[in-house]
Structure 1
Amino acid sequence: MPEISVLIPVYNRAAYVTSAVRSVLDQRGAPDFEVLIVDDGSTDDSLARVAALGDSRIRVLEAKANGGIASARNRGIAAARGAYTAFLDSDDVARPERLAAQHAFLNARPDHAGVGAWIGWIDDDGKRLSRIKRKPRTYRMIAAERLFRSGIENSTAMARTEVLRAYPHDESLVVGSDYDLWARIARDHPVASLPHLLVDRRAHAEQATTENVARDRYFRCRIFAWQLDALGIHYTDADLNGHYRLRRLKKAGDRPDEAYLDWAEAWLARLRAANREYRLYPEPEFSGLLALFWAAACWYAEPQAKGMARLARNPLTRALPRGAFQGWAHRAPLVSRAAARLGR
């Protein structure tokens, strides 16, 4: 039996799936593994290209109709033979040391349910780009961030198969089911991310559309909602949309006005007070994170001078030095790697 099942859902990815599968077959130093291709009703020649690789480590689960990414991942997890399941998207590529590094980490830390990694970018032709997404290293920071974003990049993740079976993907989430998955797991179990580039994400035209952004907001707000329910927070649709906006200020080129700052100030104070009562998110990491979001809202405000004046006099700002330090320490390459080697 393989030690690791590498789960690759596939839906009409003929142009990229061969590179994804080869990147797994070429892993170095990893224990025995299988590559589990979970077809989601492809209508192109994706599966023919996989079959042409002719490797006995490849196993294919076929579907007659497209059921969505969450359904495909659930089918794959149910069929996995390995004690560990690693995810990889069908247009991404794993770096050669990925499986060995993550398997060693989880073997050494039986309390951890899963581990991710940092992710780089490649272009349509496979050329590496300079962009890097650095995720927080430790479970406390990942757990603190889960109300706003996923601390685990799913295409880099490896987890214990028994844990994934206990936390199935929510198939009603058309997008964001991976964020929901890791929010639920991080609520109950330690998870981490290795401060190393172990996967490259392919940038191509099909990934970014206006429709996808709109859907992302809708489904992420659903994930925010169940976490806010657990915190005992009463909220409106406007609150959910405002919360979503907080995490996208820089990316969206957003310039908050005074009305939004009024809302954000009150909202973040409510989150901090609720967490002091319910203790669902680790402190002081959670308060530091709230301070960072408040500082971002003030920095991008229009006019900026008024925003910065509000930042200076708000009690949330007291946690800003810690928030800035913890954000930097978890994502600065040399600091993160040194801390990882020391086991911190």
Structure 2
Amino acid sequence: MSDLISIVIPYYNGDIERLEATLDTVRDQSHSPMEILLIDDGSEAEFAARMGEVATRYGARRIRQDNSGPGAARNLGAAEARGDWIAFLDADDIWHPDKLAAQLAHARQPGNGGKVILTRTGTVGVDGTLYKENRYDTFGATEAFVARLLRGGVHSFTSALFMHRDTFAALNGFDRRLRYREDHYFLLRAARERGVSCLPDRLSDRVLHDNSYTAAAKRPAAADLYARQVRFADAVAEIDPAFVSSAFLADEALRIGKQKAGSGDTGQALAMAARAIALRPGSRKGWLLALAAPAARLVPGRFAHWKPQSGLAQTSPVQKVT
């Protein structure tokens, strides 16, 4: 079986220094990939030019498309890939040196060749401080894994995705209708149709950096965030007749409302509380959010942990990565 691996990295107006740090970890792999494909998802001219320079320095193949979202960019990269195996990597994440070697060895074990292979992942600071470890291998059987996925219990995994190109083709890639949670939808289908196997080692990390904090601070309006979840729920309902959209969306309205309350935006928090109550009238949580939203504005420190990313940014680190 071939050991040729193609790396697909979508990029859109990103931090160039972070992209270079990401590519450094690809270059340092103990099993070298046959190629790196940088997919420019319609970046502005300044970013596109700098990205082209980086691609040349790292020997990557640069492919440009009109802005269509990360899923479409990954699909294009996979279509252009020449390797038999495909590994996806986001432009500001990092890999540990044995990541590709370990996943390839695992994929070659009997019964794993057609599965999507994951590793444990971490959320780290730019100095290597570990804030969270995501242990997908502990989630158990397929339905338990899917349930955790739908509850938001599986995240920061995209840069750990590794599979044979035939597996990606059989799953029809990432759904182009979705620009948000398109990775969750892909993994949900993979778990049910092909199987997912996860290594117990943390070999891929999401990096929290200044630009990621800025992006979190400039989150869209609650209504836009909720609309994204509606599109995701509609897609899941198409393939899962047992999926209860109203319950899922009630939970998502609560989550978004708490984030807005934590940021001091009482109006948007109350709107999400009303949405959650309408979807699930018998639940106390919507009413509790409706009471907490004004209080969060009056006593912001009490609910600061509800702010986007604040739970990670303010939590004591687990350890420093060495």
TM-score of the superposition, structure 2-length normalised?
Answer: 0.69
- 2:127 corresponds to: 127
Cα distance change of structure 1 residues 116 and 246 upon mapping to structure 2, 3 Å threshold: farther
Alignment of 1:92-241 (within 5 A): 92-111=93-112, 112-123=114-125, 126-137=126-137, 138-140=140-142, 141-149=144-152, 151=154, 153-167=157-171, 168-203=173-208, 204-208=212-216, 209-211=218-220, 215-228=224-237, 230-232=240-242, 239-241=247-249
SS in 2 for 1:211: coil
Alignment of 1:306-325 (within 5 A): none
CA contact (8 A) 2:5 2:84 kept: yes
Inter-partner Cα distance in structure 1 for 2:204 and 2:35: 18
CA contact (8 A) 1:175 1:216 kept: no
1:51 and 2:56 aligned: yes
Greater mean deviation of Cα atoms: 102-111 or 78-87: 102-111
SS in 2 for 1:117: strand
Inter-partner Cα distance in structure 1 for 2:215 and 2:115: 29
Amino acid at match of 1:37: L
CA contact (8 A) 2:258 2:289 kept: no
SS in 1 for 2:103: helix
Amino acid at match of 2:231: R
Give the fraction of aligned pairs with identical amino acids, expressed as a percent.
23
Q: 1:249: Cα distance to partner?
A: 9.3
- 2:296 corresponds to: none
> What whole-Å deviation, never above 9, does each CA across 1:137-170 have from its counterpart, x for those lacking one?
1452323434333746111111221121232211
SS in 1 for 2:220: helix
CA contact (8 A) 2:178 2:232 kept: no
SS in 1 for 2:17: coil
Amino acid at match of 1:196: D
> What whole-Å deviation, never above 9, does each CA across 1:184-238 have from its counterpart, x for those lacking one?
11121210222222112121234413218754432233223343453356755xx
Cα distance change of structure 1 residues 206 and 302 upon mapping to structure 2, 3 Å threshold: closer
Alignment of 1:256-275 (within 5 A): none
Q: 1:302: Cα distance to partner?
A: 10
Amino acid at match of 1:221: V
Q: 1:266: Cα distance to partner?
A: 7.4
Q: 1:32: Cα distance to partner?
A: 4.6
Amino acid at match of 1:219: R
- 1:24 corresponds to: 26
Greater mean deviation of Cα atoms: 67-76 or 141-150: 141-150
> What whole-Å deviation, never above 9, does each CA across 1:46-65 have from its counterpart, x for those lacking one?
12122123x3xx322233x3
- 2:250 corresponds to: 242
Cα distance change of structure 1 residues 130 and 225 upon mapping to structure 2, 3 Å threshold: same
In structure 2, list runs of 5 or more residues that go unmatched: 263-268, 292-317
Amino acid at match of 1:86: A
Cα distance change of structure 1 residues 92 and 31 upon mapping to structure 2, 3 Å threshold: closer
Cα distance change of structure 1 residues 33 and 2 upon mapping to structure 2, 3 Å threshold: farther
SS in 2 for 1:15: helix
Kindly report the root-mean-square deviation, in angstroms, between the aligned alpha carbons of the 2 structures.
3.7
The number of residues matched between the two structures is 267
Runs of 4 or more above 3 Å deviation: 109-112, 149-152, 212-217, 225-229, 232-236, 245-254, 259-267, 300-303
In structure 1, list runs of 5 or more residues that go unmatched: 268-293, 304-332, 334-344
CA contact (8 A) 2:120 2:204 kept: yes
> What whole-Å deviation, never above 9, does each CA across 1:65-90 have from its counterpart, x for those lacking one?
32221211110011112221111101
- 1:309 corresponds to: none
